[in-house]
A and B are shown apart, each in its own frame.
Chain A
Amino acid sequence: MSGAEVVIVGGGVTGLSAGWWLARSGVKVTVVDKGIVGWEASGRNGGGASHYQSPLFEEEHRLWPQMDELLGYPTEHRKERIIIAMSERQWEQYRFVAERHRRLGHPVEVLDVKQVQDAVPLAGDNCFGGVHYRFGGHANPQRTVQAYAWALQDLGGTIVQHNAVTGFETASGKVTAVKTGAASYGCDSVVVAAGPQTAALMAQLGIAVPLANARAEMIITEPAPMMPIGGVDGHKLYGRQTMRGNLAYGGGPHEWIDVDATGPVARPSTPLMRNLASRLAELLPKAAHLNVIRSWAGVIENSPDGRPIIDRLTSPDNVVVASMSGVGFGLSPASGHAIRDLVLDGTCSFSDIGILGLSRFANLEPDWREKRGWMPIS
Chain B
Amino acid sequence: MELNFAGTDLCAINGTRSAPDARYDVVVVGAGCSGTAAAIAAATAGSSVLLVDENPVSGALMGNDVPLYFGGRMTAATQNSERMLEAIFMSAPALEQAMEAGVEVLLGTSAWGVYRNGPGVSSLPEQVVGLADASRSWLVGFERIVLATGARDLALAFPGWNQPGVMGAAALRMLLTRYDAFAGRRVLVLGSHDLALESALLAHDRGLKVAGLVEVRDAPQGSADLVAQVAAAGIAIHCGQTIALAKGGIEGVEAATLSSGEVILCDTICMAVGLVPSIELVDAMHGPRTLIATRGGYIPAGEETVSAVGSCAGLADTGFDHIAYRMDWVRALSDVSADDTIVCQCEEVTRADLLGVQPPNYLARPAPMCARSLETLLVDGPANPDQIKRLTRAGMGVCQGRRCRDQVAMLLAIAADRPFGTIPLATHRAPVRPIPLKIMADWHESEAMSAAWDVWFGIPTQWVPVEDIGTPHEDEHRAMLYTGMYE
A residues sitting closer than 8 Å to B (CB atoms) are 36-37, 43, 52-55, 57, 68, 72-74, 76, 92-93, 96-97, 100, 103-104, 142-143, 146, 149-151, 154, 159, 161-162, 214-215, 221-223, 233, 236-238, 243-244, 246, 251-257, 264-275, 277-281, 287-297, 299, 302, 305-307, 325-326, 355, 370-374, 376-378
Which of B366, B390, B437, B462 gathers most chain A CB within 10 Å?
B437
Q: Are B436 and A290 in contact (CB under 8 A)?
A: yes
Q: Are A74 and B455 in contact (CB under 8 A)?
A: no
Would you call B13 an interface residue if the criterion is a C-beta within 8 Å of the partner chain's C-beta atoms? Answer: yes
With A150-B372, A326-B457 as known contacts, state yes or no: A96 contacts B462, CB within 8 Å.
no
Q: Are B120 and A267 in contact (CB under 8 A)?
A: yes
Q: Are A271 and B139 in contact (CB under 8 A)?
A: yes
Chain A interface main SS type:
mixed
Would you call B59 an interface residue if the criterion is a C-beta within 8 Å of the partner chain's C-beta atoms? Answer: no
Would you call B48 an interface residue if the criterion is a C-beta within 8 Å of the partner chain's C-beta atoms? Answer: no
Would you call B480 an interface residue if the criterion is a C-beta within 8 Å of the partner chain's C-beta atoms? Answer: yes
With A100-B477, A277-B441, A291-B436 as known contacts, state yes or no: A373 contacts B431, CB within 8 Å.
no
Mark each residue of chain B from 19 to 38: 1 if its CB lies under 8 Å from any CB of chain A, else 0. 00000000000000000000
Mark each residue of chain B from 256 to 286: 1 if its CB lies under 8 Å from any CB of chain A, else 0. 0000000000000000000000000000011
Q: Are A373 and B390 in contact (CB under 8 A)?
A: no
Which of B122, B440, B463, B480 gathers most chain A CB within 10 Å?
B440
- Residues on A with beta carbons closer than 8 Å to the beta carbon of B391: 142-143, 146
Which of B121, B359, B449, B467 gathers most chain A CB within 10 Å?
B121
- Residues on B with beta carbons closer than 8 Å to the beta carbon of A52: 465
Would you call B222 an interface residue if the criterion is a C-beta within 8 Å of the partner chain's C-beta atoms? Answer: no
Q: Are B120 and A355 in contact (CB under 8 A)?
A: no
With A53-B464, A268-B118, A277-B440 as known contacts, state yes or no: A256 contacts B368, CB within 8 Å.
no
Q: How far is the CA of A277 from the CA of B469 in the complex (A)?
A: 35
- Residues on B with beta carbons closer than 8 Å to the beta carbon of A76: 363
A-B contact pairs, 5 of them (CB 8 A): A74-B364, A222-B398, A243-B362, A244-B347, A305-B459
CB distance from A376 to the nearest CB of B (A): 6
Q: Are B480 and A291 in contact (CB under 8 A)?
A: no
Q: Are A96 and B481 in contact (CB under 8 A)?
A: yes
Q: Are A243 and B363 in contact (CB under 8 A)?
A: yes
CB distance from B39 to the nearest CB of A (A): 24
Would you call B83 an interface residue if the criterion is a C-beta within 8 Å of the partner chain's C-beta atoms? Answer: no
Q: Are A55 and B362 in contact (CB under 8 A)?
A: no
Q: How far is the CA of A275 from the CA of B123 in the complex (A)?
A: 15
Of the residues A146, A215, A253, A277, contact of B437 by C-beta under 8 Å: A277
Chain B, range 401-460, C-beta contacts under 8 Å to A: 429-431, 434-438, 440-443, 445, 449, 452-457, 459
CB distance from B314 to the nearest CB of A (A): 25
Q: How far is the CA of A272 from the CA of B437 in the complex (A)?
A: 13
Which of B10, B128, B368 gathers most chain A CB within 10 Å?
B368
- Residues on A with beta carbons closer than 8 Å to the beta carbon of B10: 373
Q: Are B359 and A74 in contact (CB under 8 A)?
A: yes
With A271-B139, A272-B13 as known contacts, state yes or no: A292 contacts B437, CB within 8 Å.
yes
- Residues on B with beta carbons closer than 8 Å to the beta carbon of A302: 457, 459
Of the residues B12, B363, B465, contact of A255 by C-beta under 8 Å: B12
Would you call B152 an interface residue if the criterion is a C-beta within 8 Å of the partner chain's C-beta atoms? Answer: no
Of the residues B382, B437, B456, contact of A287 by C-beta under 8 Å: B437
Of the residues A92, A255, A287, contact of B121 by C-beta under 8 Å: A255
Q: Are B440 and A100 in contact (CB under 8 A)?
A: no
Q: How far is the CA of A52 from the CA of B390 in the complex (A)?
A: 28
- Residues on A with beta carbons closer than 8 Å to the beta carbon of B454: 236, 251-253
Q: Are A306 and B465 in contact (CB under 8 A)?
A: no
Q: How far is the CA of A326 from the CA of B464 in the complex (A)?
A: 15
Mark each residue of chain B from 101 to 118: 1 if its CB lies under 8 Å from any CB of chain A, else 0. 000000000000101001
CB distance from B187 to the nearest CB of A (A): 30
- Residues on B with beta carbons closer than 8 Å to the beta carbon of A223: 398
Mark each residue of chain B from 463 to 486: 1 if its CB lies under 8 Å from any CB of chain A, else 0. 111111100010011001100000
Q: How far is the CA of A272 from the CA of B16 in the complex (A)?
A: 10
Pick the 5 closest A-B CB pairs, nearest first.
A306-B462, A306-B459, A291-B434, A278-B441, A373-B9
Given contacts A74-B366, A256-B9, A277-B440, 11 further A-B contacts (CB under 8 A): A53-B462, A93-B480, A96-B481, A253-B12, A257-B122, A274-B137, A287-B437, A289-B436, A294-B431, A370-B7, A373-B6
Q: How far is the CA of A292 from the CA of B112 in the complex (A)?
A: 11
Q: Are A269 and B430 in contact (CB under 8 A)?
A: yes
Chain B, range 128-156, C-beta contacts under 8 Å to A: 128, 130, 137, 139
- Residues on A with beta carbons closer than 8 Å to the beta carbon of B464: 53
Which of A104, A274, A291 gathers most chain B CB within 10 Å?
A274
Would you call B367 an interface residue if the criterion is a C-beta within 8 Å of the partner chain's C-beta atoms? Answer: yes
Q: Are B437 and A373 in contact (CB under 8 A)?
A: no
Q: Name A35's closest neighbour in chain B (CB-CB).
A: B381
- Residues on A with beta carbons closer than 8 Å to the beta carbon of B285: 268
With A244-B347, A293-B400 as known contacts, state yes or no: A72 contacts B368, CB within 8 Å.
yes
Would you call B303 an interface residue if the criterion is a C-beta within 8 Å of the partner chain's C-beta atoms? Answer: no
With A270-B123, A290-B437, A370-B7 as known contacts, state yes or no: A275 contacts B431, CB within 8 Å.
no
CB distance from A368 to the nearest CB of B (A): 8
Q: Name A151's closest neighbour in chain B (CB-CB).
A: B368
